[in-house]
């Protein structure tokens, strides 16, 4: 059984910062891409940032320059540092990972989601 557990969401004022973390656990053989998605009320889920196992990153245009994604391959964690937050960043943020288990089954897994609210 594979689990992704997120932490770090909350309420922050515009211009503030939050740091989201996601830890993968279970019978994991390897992890390929890890990323963060978000879904605002009434909108579709969208990609925020993704990082490959080699450390290459890709960001949504809306967050370039103020969000940073990183990962620790040994600890099996991915982190999203969010700076200069805006009200439009308000959403439920989901961790996502492309994982191969020891049974050699490969699929994308999702975390349970963590709420980020940017408001004064």
User: Could you read off the pLDDT of 9-39 as tens digits, one per residue?
Assistant: 999 999 999 999 999 999 999 999 999 999 9
Confidence category of residue 58, pLDDT binned at 50, 70, 90: very high
What average pLDDT does the chain have? 97
CB-CB contact of 77 with 21 (8 Å): yes
1 in helix, strand or coil? coil
Average pLDDT of 86-101? 97
pLDDT at 106: 96
- pLDDT for res 22: 98
Q: What is the pLDDT of residue 74?
A: 96
Element (H, E) at 95: strand 91-101
What is the mean predicted confidence (pLDDT) over 45-69? 97
| Percent of the residues in the chain that have a pLDDT greater than 70, as a whole number | 100
């Amino acid at each position: 059984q594979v689990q992704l557990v997120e932490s770090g969401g909350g309420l922050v004022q515009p211009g503030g910062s939050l740091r989201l973390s996601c830890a993968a656990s279970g019978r994991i053989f390897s992890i390929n891409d890890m990323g963060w998605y978000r879904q605002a009320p009434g909108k579709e889920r969208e990609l925020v940032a993704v990082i490959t196992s080699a450390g290459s990153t890709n960001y949504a245009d809306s967050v370039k320059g103020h969000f940073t994604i990183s990962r620790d391959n040994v600890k099996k964690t991915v982190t999203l540092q969010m700076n200069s937050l805006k009200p439009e960043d308000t959403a439920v943020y989901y961790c996502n990972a492309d994982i191969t288990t020891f049974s050699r089954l490969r699929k994308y897994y999702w975390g349970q989601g963590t709420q980020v609210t940017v408001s004064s």
